[in-house]
Amino acid sequence: MPSRQFSLPQQDCVDCPIRHRAVCARCESDELEHLEAIKYYRKYEAGQTIIWAGDKMNFVASVVEGVASLTQTMEDGRRQMVGLLLPSDFLGRPNREVASYDVVATTDVMLCCFRRLPFQQLISDNAHISQRLLEMTLDELDAAREWMLLLGRKTAREKIASLLSIIARRDASLKELPSRGHVAFDLPLTREAMADYLGLTLETVSRQMSALKRDDVIHLGGKRQITIPDFDLLMNETGDDADGGML
């Protein structure tokens, strides 16, 4: 099957929606010019696999729009999502040729790609890029560890509540709305993707969603439109500290 990805016309970095959060956040205008020279855009449709584990990757990229997931698969088909890539998140690893995980577009996705070798060169020359990349990697590591607590110790109900609160919160921060009181958002994941994320089966996800609805913690309009009447009520179900912890 031929790839459906295609290139898009060059866009100006200064207009970029992720300009101040992505790996290029700290760059000055002359540094941006170097990046402009090696960047190109690619678009993927929802459901498309961007990279298979084991593939050779000749680029790294920032997610500009949409949601993608990193997934590990065992021989017998058991799957675990190990990362969720949102706008401004970084994809790929400098100095590594081969992808470690499957990367799948959960929604339509736009990537800002950099050819890997020139990008590696930039990293060793340019402190602003490598410092920002370090910072972002440390944040991802913190998120991965938070997730390990969820996978290892939380109940199914707590897992669902935690996932909803995470998505609600980042959705709010994107729209610059407060994440308290009444909150509404679109769920960009299928029940199966939620199950892969949470280490559950899709039946258990469905059951717990129904239970949270029955208990008026969430309301559903259609399958994907979520309304949370009281954000504190949801937070009580996550098992986390009431005050949001130290992160």
Partner DNA sequence: CGACATCTTGACTACAGTCAATACTAGTGG
Partner DNA sequence: CCACTAGTATTGACTGTAGTCAAGATGTCG
Work out what residue 123 binds among DNA, a copy of itself, none; the CB cut-off runs from 5 to 8 Å by kind: a copy of itself
Asked if 38 and 119 count as a contact pair (C-beta separation under 8 A), the reply is yes
Q: What is the DSSP letter of 166?
A: H
Based on the shown chain and the rule CB under 7 A, indicate whether residue 156 belongs to the binding site for DNA: yes
The whole-angstrom separation of Cα 100 and Cα 111 is 19
Extract the tokens encoding 54.
């084991």
Q: Which one of 60-68, 113-121, 217-225, 236-244 is the stretch in contact with DNA (CB under 7 A)?
A: 217-225
CA distance 176 to 169: 10
Q: CA–CA separation, 118 vs 139, rounded Å?
A: 25
Q: How far is the CB of 158 from DNA (least distance, A)?
A: 7
Q: Is 219 in the site for DNA (CB under 7 A)?
A: no
Question: Binding partner of residue 101 among DNA, a copy of itself, none, CB under 5 to 8 Å per kind?
Answer: a copy of itself
Q: How wide is the angle at C-alpha 139 spanned by C-alphas 171 and 226, nearest 5°? A: 20
Contact region with DNA (CB under 7 A), list: 20-28, 50-58, 129-137, 191-199: 191-199
Residue 6, phi-psi category: left (phi > 0), alpha (psi -120 to 50), beta (remainder) = beta
For a copy of itself, the closer CB: 2 or 77:
77
Q: β-pairing, 49-51 with 102-105?
A: antiparallel
Residue 155 sits in the site that holds DNA (CB under 7 A): yes
Amino acid at 48: Q
* Burial label, 35 (beta-carbon count in 10 A; 0-12, 13-18, 19+): buried
Shortest Å distance, C-beta 245 to a copy of itself: 9
Residues forming the site for a copy of itself (CB under 8 A): 53-54, 70, 72, 74-76, 78-80, 82-83, 93, 95, 98, 100-101, 123-124, 127, 130-131, 133-135, 137-138, 140-142, 144-149, 151-153, 198-199, 239-241, 246-247
If the CB atoms of residues 78 and 213 are measured against a copy of itself, the closer one turns out to be 78
Q: Please report, as ranges, the residues that interact with DNA according to CB under 7 A.
A: 47, 155-157, 190-192, 199-207, 209-210, 220, 222-224
